[in-house]
Amino acid sequence: MHGVTAAVAPGDSPNWRGGPWGASARAILAPNAGPMTLEGTNTWLLAAPGADVGIVVDPGPLDEGHLAAVQAAASSAGVRVAVVLLTHGHPDHAEGAARFSELTGAPVRALDPAHRLGPLGLADGDVVAVGGLEVRVVGTPGHTSDSLSFLLADAGAGASALLTGDTVLGRGTTLIEYPDGRLGDYLASLERLATLVGSGGVGGVLPGHGPVLDDPAAAIQGYLEHRRQRLDQVAAAVAAGARTPGEVVAAVYADVDRALWPAAELSVRAQLDYLGAAGGY
């Protein structure tokens, strides 16, 4: 399961097709739809109105048609891609980055040096300024250890936007890719995002998969509540006699498509570790 995004509860039928949000952001949807990626990966093109340079976030899979579509979207807007930013290194977000860099000449910046192309990385608190846009880097580990979110200041819709990669999805919930991802880190990241959006001015969550969320505070609070409920359910399953992660999955995720149980098991392992129960498994 390494390198795969998972929405453990995909929810309703696919209907998201990408498109603009505000005046500064546009999602180009990659053709990699599936139970683990929802309608596909959202590649985000960011450019201030009237600017001739912009940013691409998460070029997506190594798919020549998709990369060409991203280029075409930039060209039609009169924008040259100046830099590529990665929310994390999973292939459905980052595999196409090297090829996209070849096509555009843009450097690739990421937290993990293994995914960088060029002299600069990314770290919590960095600000990337391109063509009148400012993007602040927010460290949000948990889904993976290298997960980042990006706060796009004044996205042209009277508010900022928060690009969350796989930390918050447009629908469903996110895999904690244990052991690289850790539930304690993830909960702390959600709390940090809750504080950030609670301060006001964030008008939308622009996720790595699924539709834009227009009520960021409610979305992040829902994620926190879901995680707490799952922790209670896992603890109850262990107390009732579940002795392996697989047995916990069968008890807690009985209403989830069995095709997603392997992904659910990674999250269960992360929850058991968080609860201090992992030593017995």
Q: 6 falls in which pLDDT band (50, 70, 90)? A: very low
pLDDT value at 14 more than 70: no
Q: What value, to the nearest 5°, has the Cα angle with vertex 32 and ends 81 and 43?
A: 25
In a domain, 163, yes or no: yes
Structure tokens at 199: 């301060």
Residues 232-243 have a mean pLDDT of: 94
Q: 259 falls in which pLDDT band (50, 70, 90)? A: confident
The predicted-structure confidence for 41-81, as pLDDT tens digits, reads as follows: 999 999 999 999 999 999 999 999 999 999 999 999 999 99
In a domain, 76, yes or no: yes
Tell me, rounded to whole angstroms, the distance of Cα 108 from its chain centroid. 17
pLDDT value at 5 more than 50: no
Q: Sheet of 80-85: strands edge to edge? A: 19-21, 25-29, 42-46, 53-57, 80-85, 108-109
Segments forming the whole domain that contains residue 157: 19-214
| Nearest Cα to Cα of residue 216 among 270, 138, 146 | 138
Collapsing DSSP states into helix, strand and coil, what is residue 64? Answer: helix
Helix axes 64-76, 97-104, angle to 10 degrees: 40
Q: What is the pLDDT of residue 256?
A: 85
In a domain, 5, yes or no: no
In a domain, 132, yes or no: yes
Identity of the residue numbered 210: G
CATH number at residue 52: 3.60.15.10
Write down how long the chain is.
281
Whether the predicted model's global pTM rises above the 0.75 cut: yes
Q: How many domains does the chain have?
A: 1
In a domain, 264, yes or no: no
Q: 140 or 281: whose pLDDT is higher? A: 140
Q: What is the pLDDT of residue 126?
A: 98
**Cβ atoms 217, 240 nearer than 8 A:** no
In a domain, 270, yes or no: no
In a domain, 178, yes or no: yes
Q: 281 or 10: whose pLDDT is higher? A: 281
